[in-house]
Amino acid sequence: MAIRKIRTGDDPVLRKISRPVEEVNDRIIQIIDDMVDTLHNIGNGIGLAAPQIGILRRIIVIDIGEGIIELINPEILEERGSQIDIEGCLSLPDRSGNVERPFYVKVKGLNRKGEEVIIEGEDILARVLCHEIDHLNGILFIDKIIEE
């Protein structure tokens, strides 16, 4: 396991669309482990997407204090409601702004064993799931900042 460097600012990798993971193998597990180590080492982050460490694969990790969520090829199946709150990002450490997100999401993905899992999240978990999945599509929260 290793701590990876977070890509920041106008790094072009942050604007690219990530490729799906075709096979969950040792290399993918190593990337997930490195992402978890990196997220925990940073201290103030609650989510990390593979592009943020320079890997254009559809992998996210989240820790909002209720245990690690690891998702490979995450896909939003359902969203409901609305919430507006301030967001920041490890890749844009000096920026923040109000972003509208769904209050509830249901997300399908694979776990590290290659098994399909469904994650349902409300409030902050819904926000972080959407934020990290956006990263996989080259979308940053600054693209969604709203004025109140």
Catalytic residue among 100, 115, 132, 147: 132
Is 104 exposed, middle or buried (CB count within 10 Å of its CB: 0-12, 13-18, 19+)?
A: middle
- Nearest CA to 85 out of 46, 129, 123, 35 is that of 123
For residues 128 and 124, what is the distance between their CA atoms, to the nearest angstrom? 6
Annotation marks residue 132 as catalytic: yes
Distance, CA of 105 to CA of 102 (rounded, Å):
7
- List active site positions: 132
